[in-house]
Amino acid sequence: TERRGLRTQTHRTCFCNSSNHTGTRLVHNTRTRAEPSDMISTRSFRKSLCAILVLGRTSGAFRSLSPTTFPRTSIAAAAATSRSFGRTASDLAMSKRVLVPIGDGSEEIETTCITDTLTRFGAEVKTASVMDGELICTMSRGIKVIADMSVEDAAKEEWDLVALPGGMPGAKHLRDSDALSTILEKQKQDDKLYAAICAAPAVALSPKGLLEEGATCYPAPQFRELLTKPSDDEVVVTGKLTTSKGPGTALKFALELGEQLFGKETRDKIQKEMLVD
């Protein structure tokens, strides 16, 4: 299933708009009963309409709906399409774009908190795999997540925020990605927002000179010794960089990022809706 920017391998996914649940994807099992040739059922019509919408937006031409090509090539575009229904051109122009790079061993609580929370704010959130030629990432606790794109493709686009989850060895995979390094260096050079949590500040940012003095990270000696004057605060903002400690502070971290993108008033609204004190 897929919800709020994250996809897990469970069923084939078809995207439809819901006025009550922005960003929600409806899942239908692809195994359907054969139906009479002289009638078109509601289910068949709905599935065909979704397929046409997806394929038309992603390639401009129809593709084979094979089990291997449809989920990989079309899901990200369909998600963006479903979120755009009912929104004005002004709304879409003001949308903030957020990139969440992931790899094998990335921390799933932190990844989900970032993607889910910022989607609630109204951001367009994309996950990008740093694993060479592979979109499916096995997270730190075994959950499999299908990224929206490769990090190489993400490097061709512009982002308002790049937020790195922690987890090991996920943070090492982020560190070793040349394409991600290019993205992060461009964010800093363009004075745009970037962020990291848990092991990522120490492991992925510090070796590349992208970490500011007084940042924070997961409170383990092997990580803190890589920081200059590390802070004990749960969330630290130093210029355009935001850092945080780990899974237990991930929601506060994501809310802070949402405030930076959309303002305090929107944060207060989302925080209240999420029942966060």
pTM of the model: 0.70
Answer yes or no: are the C-beta atoms of 198 and 245 closer than 8 Å.
Answer: yes
Q: Which two tokens stand for residue 117?
A: 């929370």
What value, to the nearest 5°, has the Cα angle with vertex 251 and ends 248 and 252? 95
Cα pseudo-dihedral 238, 241, 243, 247, rounded to 10: 150
Domains of the chain are 89-267 (3.40.50.880)
Residue-level pLDDT at 94 = 63
Looking at the annotation, which residues are catalytic?
Answer: 198
pLDDT above 90: percentage of residues in the chain: 65
* Residue 139 contacts residue 18 (beta carbons within 8 Å): no
* 90, pLDDT greater than 60: no
pLDDT at residue 101 greater than cutoff 90: yes
Could you read off the pLDDT of 125-150 as tens digits, one per residue?
999 999 999 999 999 999 999 999 99
